[in-house]
Amino acid sequence: MSPIPFMRGLVAGLCLLVGTEAVLVGLDLALPPPMDKIARASPVVEDAHGVWLGALPVEDGRWRMRADLAHVDPVFVRRLIALEDARFGQHLGVDPVAIARAALSDLTAGRVRSGGSTLTMQLARRLQPRPRTLIAKLIEAGRALQLEMRLGRQGVLTDYLTLAPYGGDLEGVRAASLAWFGHEPDHLSDAEQALLIALPQAPEARRPDRHPAAAQAARGHILDRLQAARLITPAARALAETDPLPVRHPFPILAWQTTRQLARAAAPGQASVTATLDARLQAQVEALAAQTAQQQGPNTQVAVLVIDVRTRAVRAAVGSVGRDRPGGWIDATRALRSPGSALKPFIYAMAFESGLAAPGTRIKDASAVYADYRPQDFDRSFHGEVTVSQALESSLNVPAVTMLAGVGPSAFEQRLKAAGATFVRPKAGLVSPSLALALGGEGTTLRDIAMLYAALADGGVAKPLAWTRDQAQGRPRQGGVRLVREEAADQVLEILRQGAPPDGHALAQLRPEAQRIAFKTGTSYGYRDALAAGVGGGYVVAVWTGRPDGGARAGLTGRDAALPLVFDVFDRLQAAGGAPDLDQDAGAPPPVALRQIAGQDDPPPVLMFPQDGATLHLDAYGDAGPGLALSAQGHDLSWYVDGAPTPTNPQTGQTLWRPRGPGFYRVEAVDAQGRRAAARVRVAG
């Protein structure tokens, strides 16, 4: 053969190939696949340790949580591909072999039995649903080619596992696993895997909560196919068949207002948001806040913030105690309220650093008139000559106003605003702040109060509060804004530590030095707002109680209505021993059980043996084998292997597991509160 015709043919072939690719790229750019649906996923908000806090549904109230292949059981993924798209790694989105096989099967049966759709074609159908026609099939095939070029194998698989329907308002394997099984999809039993493979084929007809018989039959059919493909042993298949069908688990939510705010602020397609909150502490604080509101009447709401001073991480945030109470939809940590006397410590700190006064300076608490403003003490009496320390500790009004007159209300307000606080005057016509600012004459938020008290606890340096892990990790090294000098801040805190605690709590002198609480209360005009803020043990706790509509509550002061809750929260912090350092990488989060986070002080179970990922060697199995002694830290534990209970010997207290044979198993320890620790292990001869 002459080389010239050969070369011409080669060039022509290359030109045809390049031309075809150019046409395909042009069509892809001109008619891109609709990817907006995959971008609208429900971002899951997790606490600083990876524990579920809540999520935000997408359109039509659907739960669509973005899948993460790193946290999906790899055995499930392999089995899904084997049954749904065996040549997934070999085709380009359309599998001619599967289509030909499906066509032959349909002709033989005289009806449509199989469509030959690949996972990529199924993804295309979920992105843009159409009536099941031949034209729609051809369009899906074209879209599948586009998706393969744009996303690649891993991207296609991730998006498929994000959009696959699992019944009702559930889309994606993560939402399905959390809702049906109560845990993340990183470890799935054989029965769970079979149900998750079966559901997308007929999600409504096979819902286990509405059609249990159909769900049971569909799961059994998938188990049969897995056994036929030698992806599961007959013994494992028989055991999986005995697993009870799951029930729907409600999605729990903690810190619901904060969770919604963080979820809304998530980037498009972001799977998870790691908050600074501590789910365990959050549950405890929510319970304490609800108890406080119950004690103070049906119209009362309560807001609480717990701040880690070093990182400014918000460890707990309660905006209201429930939507069943008036104003429950309002996040009271963001609402403008009068701080009452809560700003007095900052007036004295600025007076100290300017040389206007010192803690031992004597000042008169007597009737005084400033232009047309005549302040009075809360008890409507005067105490004569007192020291500045006594004036602050007793929260006397006239000395505070005197100090503010010396500092200057405009200068005082500007310094607080420069630190990041917001202040709003009750009358828009007021151009300049007045001396009433000392007694709560301008509105601010509980978040700003917490931020300012954190500045006092950090040597007078103000920094914004951190609500996500990324924000908190940078705060220890962030310079911040100097509010007052360190010496002045320390002097004020020492004065605030001398106050008498609320009834039922230990005196400051009886607490360890590191846990002594410096606190200040505030009560607005007409008893509308009761505030308290405390500093101690590296934390700031700020509390507001009141009526959301601003109505008066006779006789409820900051000391009576808010300060006891501040001390109750500090008691929980002391019992918990603080929280892990947010600067340290906590690694991958553990599987999350969708149960109410416990408010008690006992920790969740921790597996000692076996460890996750371990390979266990045995010489014999079943009753003839020596068995394996299961061990975990925790109380009132129940043991399960692949969902089946494993009894504990009541005499010895030992739980002995005798594996039925070699293979992979899921071992779980569950306590009385439903919290679980799990490990996936391999048993080998």
Asked if pLDDT for residue 437 goes beyond 60, the answer is yes
What pLDDT does residue 275 have?
95
CA-based max dimension of the chain = 119
Q: Give the pLDDT band of residue 222 (cuts 50, 70, 90).
A: very high
Report the b/e string of 341-368 with b at 16+ CB within 10 A. bbbbbbbbbbbbbeebbebebebebeeb
Measured at the alpha carbon of residue 413, what is the angle toward residues 410 and 415, in degrees to the nearest 5? 110
CATH of 35-241, picked from 1.10.3720.10, 3.40.50.2000, 1.10.3810.10, 1.10.510.10, is: 1.10.3810.10
Domain 283-576 has CATH 3.90.1300.10: no
The answer to whether 604 touches 671, Cβ cutoff 8 Å, is: yes
Least confident stretch, 143-147, 324-328, 403-407, 640-644 = 143-147
Asked if pLDDT for residue 269 goes beyond 90, the answer is no
Q: For residue 92, how many other CB atoms are within 10 A of its CB?
A: 11
What pLDDT does residue 474 have?
72
pLDDT, tens only, 142-174: 676 776 777 778 888 888 899 999 999 999 999
Q: Which sequence spans correspond to the domains of the chain?
A: 1-31, 35-241, 283-576, 606-684
Q: Which residue has the higher pLDDT, 70 or 540?
A: 540
Instruction: Supply the mean pLDDT for the chain.
Output: 82
What pLDDT does residue 592 have?
43
What pLDDT does residue 56 have?
84
pLDDT, tens only, 300-312: 999 999 999 999 9
Least confident stretch, 126-135, 470-479, 535-544 = 126-135
DSSP 412-425: HHHHHHHTT---B-
The residues that bridge with 45 in the sheet, in sequence order, are: 54, 273
Average pLDDT over residues 325-344: 93
Residue with tokens 């040549």: 87
Cβ burial, residue 324 (10 Å; 0-12/13-18/19+): exposed
What pLDDT does residue 28 have?
53
What pLDDT does residue 353 have?
94
Which of 282-286, 582-586, 633-637 is modeled with the greatest confidence?
282-286
Q: What are phi and psi of 278, to 5 degrees?
A: -110, 110
- Is 177 tagged catalytic? no
Q: Which of 84, 105, 114, 241 is catalytic?
A: 84
Q: Give the pLDDT band of residue 595 (cuts 50, 70, 90).
A: very low
pLDDT, tens only, 492-532: 999 999 988 888 776 555 555 657 899 999 999 888 999 99
Expressed in angstroms, the distance from the first to the final Cα of the chain is 63
Nearest to 243 by CA among 206, 216, 210: 216
The answer to whether 532 touches 559, Cβ cutoff 8 Å, is: yes
Asked if pLDDT for residue 649 goes beyond 50, the answer is yes
Measured at the alpha carbon of residue 565, what is the angle toward residues 564 and 571, in degrees to the nearest 5? 95
CA 193 to chain centre: 26
Asked if pLDDT for residue 382 goes beyond 60, the answer is yes
Question: Positive or negative CA dihedral for 19, 25, 28, 30?
Answer: negative
Per CATH, 283-576 and 606-684 having the same topology is answered: no
Measured at the alpha carbon of residue 449, what is the angle toward residues 261 and 475, in degrees to the nearest 5? 65
pLDDT, tens only, 675-685: 788 888 878 76
Q: Which of 189, 341, 395, 524 is catalytic?
A: 341
For domain 606-684, which architecture applies? Sandwich (2.60)
> Rounded to whole angstroms, how far apart are CA atoms 462 and 454?
7
Asked if pLDDT for residue 377 goes beyond 70, the answer is no
Nearest to 122 by CA among 136, 140, 134, 106: 140
Average pLDDT over residues 619-628: 78
pLDDT > 90: what percent of the chain? 44
Least confident stretch, 41-45, 158-162, 228-232, 236-240 = 41-45
What pLDDT does residue 446 have?
97
Average pLDDT over residues 80-96: 76
Per 3-state DSSP, the chain is made up of helix, strand and coil in percentages (nearest 5) of 40, 15, 45
Nearest to 446 by CA among 422, 427, 426, 411: 422
Asked if pLDDT for residue 598 goes beyond 50, the answer is no
> Rounded to whole angstroms, how far apart are CA atoms 148 and 137?
16
Q: Which residue stretches of 383-500 are H helix? A: 388-393, 397-407, 409-418, 446-457, 469-474, 486-496
Task: For the chain, give the number of residues.
Answer: 685
Q: Give the pLDDT band of residue 588 (cuts 50, 70, 90).
A: very low
User: Which own/partner contact pairs does 378-384 have at CB distance under 8 Å and 24+ positions apart?
Assistant: 378/341, 378/523, 378/557
pLDDT, tens only, 413-431: 999 999 999 999 877 566 7
What pLDDT does residue 127 have?
72
The answer to whether the predicted template modeling score (pTM) of the entire model surpasses 0.95 is: no
Average pLDDT over residues 341-351: 96
Residue 236: DSSP 8-state: H
Which of 140-154, 270-284, 481-495 is modeled with the greatest confidence?
481-495
Q: Which residue has the higher pLDDT, 267 or 515?
A: 267
Quick check: bond before 610 cis, omega within 30? yes
- Is 341 tagged catalytic? yes
Average pLDDT over residues 232-245: 91
> Rounded to whole angstroms, how far apart are CA atoms 539 and 230?
57
The answer to whether 572 touches 505, Cβ cutoff 8 Å, is: no
